[in-house]
Structure 1
Amino acid sequence: MLVMEFKAVLKKPQELAINEAIRTARFVRNKVLRYWMDNRGVGKKELYRYNTQLRDEFEFVKNLNSHACQASVENVERAIKRFFDNCKKKVPGKKGYPKFKKHSRSVEYKQSGWKLSPDKKSIKFTDKKGIGKVKLKGTWDLWCFEQKLIKRVRVVQRADGYYVQFCVKIDNSEQLEATGYTIGLDVGLKDFYTDSDGYSEPNPRFYRKGEKRLKFHQRRVSRKKKGSTNRKKAINRLGRTHLKISRQREEHAKILARCVIRSNDLVAYEDLRVKNLVKNHCLAKSINDAGWYKFREWLEHFGTKFGRITVAVNPAYTSQNCSSCGEVVKKSLSTRTHVCKCGCQLDRDHNAAINILTIALGTVGHTGTYQNARGDSTSTLLGSDLVEQVGSLNRESPGISAMGSVKRRFDGIPPIVIRV
C-alpha cells in the first residue's frame, strides 16, 4: 500500500461541509460503540445493522456516504479487536478499552462517494454533505495509477488546513544488492544514536529549539478571552508551530532510517518501552523530543520495503556488559565512558551498540557471511527464530531527499531519489 497526500484548496462553505462530515462520522462511531457496550457479545453483523438503523433514523447520517459510515464502524471493530487481543496476550497495564471520541479530524471514504477528475488534479465528493469539487495541490504522480487501485480516500484536518489522502494498492517494495554490512544502534539523548562502528548522529532537539516560540504563542492564547475569535486564531498559530516541530522530527527520522537500511543488510536496535521511559519526569521532555519510536517504525518500514533484516534486541545490560570480554562493569547513567579491566575503553553508547549487534547476530540468523563491528566474520543460517517485524506503515510522503554522508559507509551509496 502507498498513501499519497495532497493539500486541499477549499472555500469557506466547503470547509464547513467537511467539518460536518467529520462530525457525522464521529457520531456514527460513538453510537455504534455505545450499542456494543450496551449489548455485550454482539458481532460484526449486528454493528453494521445498527449502522443501517442510524441512517434510517437520522437524516444527517443518511446524507453521508454509506461507505464512509461503514468506515466508522470498522474503526470500532479495530478498537474492540485490539482490546481483546491485549487481554489475551496479557499486556501489562491498561488494555486499551474502547473509548468515545470527543474530537476527531478525519473522515474516510471507500471506493464510492467520490470521483477523480480526468487530469487527477481535483476530486469531487458526490454525497449530500455538499463538499463538492476540491482542488488538489501537490506533486505526487497520481495520474499514473488507475482509479480502481485507489482503495480509500481520507480527508484530514490539520492546524494548517485540510489534506486529502489516497490509499493506493500497489507493491512499492524494492530489491537491493547485499552490502555485506551489519550494524547495531544505541539511541540516546546526548546523541540521537551511536552505531557499532563508533559513529554518533547528533540529536537535533527540534522541540528544545522551538520551545521559546511555543511559549510565546502559549502566552498569547492565555491572554485572549475564552470563546473569542482572537483566541481561536491564537490557538491555530500555536497548533501550526507544534505541527512544524512534529514534521521536522518525522522527516529527520525518515531520512536517517532510510539511509541506515539501504547501507546494511541487518540492523539491530533496542526494543525500548518508551511509554514506560517517559514516566521519568526529569527526562520525559527530552525522550519525547528525540522520537525514538518513530525512528524504529521507519526502520521496520524500510526494512520491509527493501528486504532488509531488522531485529529488536532487549536492552537489558547492554550498557553494563563489556563488549570485549563480557564482564559486567557497573556504571551510573552519568558515567559516559566504559572502562574494563581487560583493557577495553570505549564510549558508553559505542559499547552498548556493539553488544546490541552481538546479541542480534547470536539470536537471529542471517544468510551469508558479514563483517561485524569488531571485524570478526560471522556466518549463520536463516532459521525460524527470526523475530516477526511490526506491521509496516506502508506510507511515504514527499520531501525525502538524499543525505550525502550520514556516516563514512554512506559515501559509496548512490543518492536516494524519490519522485514526488
Structure 2
Amino acid sequence: MLLTYQFKLNPTPEQVVTLETWGELLRRHWNYTLGERLDWLRRTRSQIDRCSLVSEPIGKIPDRADYYTQASDLKRTKELFPDYKNIYADCQQQNLLRLDKAWKRWLTPDKKGKRGGRPRFKKRGDISSFTFPRVNSPKTGAHLVGSVLKLSKIGEIEVILHRPIPDGFEIKQATILSKADGWYVSFSLEDKTVPALLSRDKITTATGIDVGLEKFLTTADGQSVEVPQYYRKAQSKLARQQRQLARKIKGSKNHSQQSSKVAKTHLHVARQRKEFHYHVAHWLVNSYDLIVFENLNIRGLARTRQALSILDVAWGAFLEIMQAVAVKCGKLTLGVDPRGTSINCSSCGERVEKTLAIRVHSCSCGLVIDRDWNSALNLLKRGFALSEVVRASVFEGEGSVGLPIPGCGGLGDTQPVKQQVSYVNLRYSRYIACN
C-alpha cells in the first residue's frame, strides 16, 4: 500500500534561492527536450511522396528523441551549461521521466482509447517541484534524520513533522514542491502489507450515495450533507483582491505581493474543500461496510451552465478520496451507472418524469420522498445487482447478520410512506482514523 504524507519545510533564505534556481533550470531543460521531440515529430510526419517545404526546414532529419537518448545527453548539457552541475543528477532524470510519461500519454491511447493532451512548454514558475527518487538509502540525495531533511547540494532543511510517519512504512521518494505559502516535501510511503478487505460474512451495512448541488450527498438511509460552497463564499474577497491586482504594474514588487495574496486565498479554499472531503469520506467509511456511488461524467457536466458550482463541490476529487480511505480501512466501494436513478421509483420501478426543479419524488404507488433519497436507494439496488459478494452475504444468509433496510419502501415489502431527508451535522469532531 502506498501513502503520501506532506510536511512543511523551513528552509533558509539561501536555500530558497537554491530551490528556485533548480526549478528554473529544470524548466528550461524541459522546454529544450520537449522541443527536440516536437522537432523530430514535425520533420518525420510528412507523407513519403511529398515534403512540407513551406512549414519545415530542409536538412538532415534528427534521430528520434526518447528518455534514454536525452538522459545520455545530460553529461553534455552540464559541459555546455555548468549551472546544471549544481543539480542532483537523479532530479534531472526524474524531470525527463515526467516529460516521457506526458509524451506517451499523448501519443499512445489507453485501454479505453483515450489520450492525454500534448505536452506544453513551461513558462516561468510552472515547474515548482522536483523529485528525489530514493530516500534513506546508500548513495542517495535525500536522508530524513529525525526532523531534519538532508538534501544533496542543498543542505539540511528543518521539517515540521506535524504527525508521525506510520510504523512499518518505508520512505520511497521525496518530492520538494513550492506553494503559495512556502515550500513542502511529500514523502511517498510504502507498506508491503495490503489491508484485507471485509469478507462477505462480515458485511453488515451498505448504502448508496447520490451527490448533488443542493445537497452535497444523500445516503440511502435518508441522511444528507449540506454543500459548503467554499469558493462561492470566497468570491467577493477574491474579486476585491483581483481588482487590486489589476491596478498594479506588472513586474513591480506591489504586483508580486498582491499576486501572492490571491494565490494564498485560492490555496485556502482548496484546503477547506479537501478537509471537508476527508471528513465526509471518513464518516461514510466508518458508518458503512459497502458504499455504492454513481459513475458520473463530471468533465461533461462541467461544460454546462452550472459548471462553477460543479467545480466548487469537486465530486471527482471526493470520490477518489473516499475510495482511497475505503481501501485503507478495508471497506468496499462500487461505482454503478447513474442513468435513470432520479426518474425510476425505488419502490415499484415505475418511471416518474420530472425536471431538475422538482425536488420531491411522488409516485402513483404512494411513495413520496426526497428526489435525491430516491436516487440513492436506486443506486444501492444497482449495487446489489452488480456485487455478487453482497448478494451472497445478504440474500443467501451465509453467516451474515443482514443489511439494515430503510423503512421507506425502497428495498423491502413495507408500505411506502412520506419521508423527509434528515441532515447530518458535519461541523464535526475530529474524524477517527481507521485501524
Provide the C-alpha distance between the structure 1 equivalents of 2:262 and 2:193, rounded to a whole number of angstroms: 36
Of residues 152, 158, 161, the one that matches 1:138 is 161
- Residue of structure 1 equivalent to 2:320: 297
List gaps (5 residues or longer) in structure 2: 42-63, 135-139, 395-401, 414-421
- How far apart are residue 125 of structure 1 and its match? 1.9
Are positions 1:157 and 2:153 aligned together?
A: no
- CA contact under 8 A between 1:28 and 1:51: conserved in structure 2? no
- Residue of structure 2 equivalent to 1:67: 90
- CA contact under 8 A between 1:259 and 1:406: conserved in structure 2? no
2:109 match: secondary structure: helix
Provide the C-alpha distance between the structure 1 equivalents of 2:186 and 2:100, rounded to a whole number of angstroms: 22
Of residues 117, 128, 144, the one that matches 1:96 is 117
TM score, norm. by length of structure 1? 0.82
- Residue of structure 2 equivalent to 1:114: 142
Length, aligned pairs only: 378
- How far apart are residue 236 of structure 1 and its match? 0.5
Of residues 208, 217, 222, the one that matches 2:232 is 208
- Residue of structure 2 equivalent to 1:331: 354
1:325 match: secondary structure: coil
- Residue of structure 2 equivalent to 1:223: 247
- CA contact under 8 A between 2:102 and 2:116: conserved in structure 1? no
Of residues 182, 187, 192, the one that matches 2:206 is 182
Provide the C-alpha distance between the structure 1 equivalents of 2:338 and 2:424, rounded to a whole number of angstroms: 24
Q: 1:143 to 1:99 in 2, by over 3 A?
A: same
- How far apart are residue 171 of structure 1 and its match? 4.7
Deviations 1:87-144 (A, max 9, x none): 66323xx742222222122111122223333xx21122222xxx32211123232496
- Residue of structure 2 equivalent to 1:398: none
- Residue of structure 2 equivalent to 1:76: 99
Provide the C-alpha distance between the structure 2 equivalents of 1:305 and 1:62, rounded to a whole number of angstroms: 41
- How far apart are residue 43 of structure 1 and its match? 4.6
- CA contact under 8 A between 1:22 and 1:105: conserved in structure 2? yes
Q: Where do residues 205-354 of structure 1 align in structure 2 (5 Å cutoff)? A: 205-280=229-304, 282-354=305-377
- CA contact under 8 A between 1:321 and 1:328: conserved in structure 2? yes
Percent of aligned pairs with the same residue?
A: 30
Deviations 1:217-268 (A, max 9, x none): 1122112222110111011011111111100000110121122123222111
Structure of greater Rg: 2
- CA contact under 8 A between 2:203 and 2:290: conserved in structure 1? no
- How far apart are residue 174 of structure 1 and its match? 4.5
- CA contact under 8 A between 1:113 and 1:125: conserved in structure 2? yes
- How far apart are residue 406 of structure 1 and its match? 8.5
User: What amino acid sits opposite 2:180 in the alignment?
Assistant: A
Q: CA RMSD in A?
A: 2.8
User: What amino acid sits opposite 1:134 in the alignment?
Assistant: I
Are positions 1:366 and 2:389 aligned together?
A: yes
- CA contact under 8 A between 2:346 and 2:411: conserved in structure 1? no
User: What amino acid sits opposite 2:229 in the alignment?
Assistant: R
- How far apart are residue 213 of structure 1 and its match? 1.6
Provide the C-alpha distance between the structure 2 equivalents of 1:184 and 1:312, rounded to a whole number of angstroms: 10
Are positions 1:123 and 2:149 aligned together?
A: yes
- How far apart are residue 34 of structure 1 and its match? 2.6
- How far apart are residue 84 of structure 1 and its match? 3.9
1:318 match: secondary structure: coil
- How far apart are residue 18 of structure 1 and its match? 0.5
Of the structure 1 ranges 4-13 and 347-356, higher mean CA displacement relative to structure 2 is found in: 4-13
Provide the C-alpha distance between the structure 1 equivalents of 2:19 and 2:412, rounded to a whole number of angstroms: 60
- Residue of structure 1 equivalent to 2:128: 105
User: What amino acid sits opposite 1:23 in the alignment?
Assistant: E
User: What amino acid sits opposite 1:221 in the alignment?
Assistant: L
- CA contact under 8 A between 2:132 and 2:175: conserved in structure 1? yes
Of the structure 1 ranges 282-291 and 229-238, higher mean CA displacement relative to structure 2 is found in: 282-291
Provide the C-alpha distance between the structure 1 equivalents of 2:29 and 2:172, rounded to a whole number of angstroms: 21
List gaps (5 residues or longer) in structure 1: 378-404
1:39 match: secondary structure: helix
- Residue of structure 2 equivalent to 1:9: 10
- CA contact under 8 A between 1:183 and 1:268: conserved in structure 2? yes
Provide the C-alpha distance between the structure 2 equivalents of 1:417 and 1:150, rounded to a whole number of angstroms: 21
Provide the C-alpha distance between the structure 2 equivalents of 1:172 and 1:189, rounded to a whole number of angstroms: 39
- Residue of structure 2 equivalent to 1:170: 191
Are positions 1:32 and 2:56 aligned together?
A: no
Q: 1:261 to 1:53 in 2, by over 3 A?
A: farther
Provide the C-alpha distance between the structure 1 equivalents of 2:143 and 2:7, rounded to a whole number of angstroms: 15
2:346 match: secondary structure: coil
Deviations 1:328-373 (A, max 9, x none): 1111110111111121211111111111111121123224224254
Provide the C-alpha distance between the structure 1 equivalents of 2:215 and 2:291, rounded to a whole number of angstroms: 18
2:101 match: secondary structure: helix
Provide the C-alpha distance between the structure 1 equivalents of 2:366 and 2:166, rounded to a whole number of angstroms: 62
User: What amino acid sits opposite 1:156 in the alignment?
Assistant: L
- CA contact under 8 A between 2:283 and 2:431: conserved in structure 1? no
- Residue of structure 2 equivalent to 1:416: 432
Provide the C-alpha distance between the structure 2 equivalents of 1:8 and 1:279, rounded to a whole number of angstroms: 38
- Residue of structure 2 equivalent to 1:381: none
User: What amino acid sits opposite 1:113 in the alignment?
Assistant: G
Provide the C-alpha distance between the structure 2 equivalents of 1:16 and 1:166, rounded to a whole number of angstroms: 22
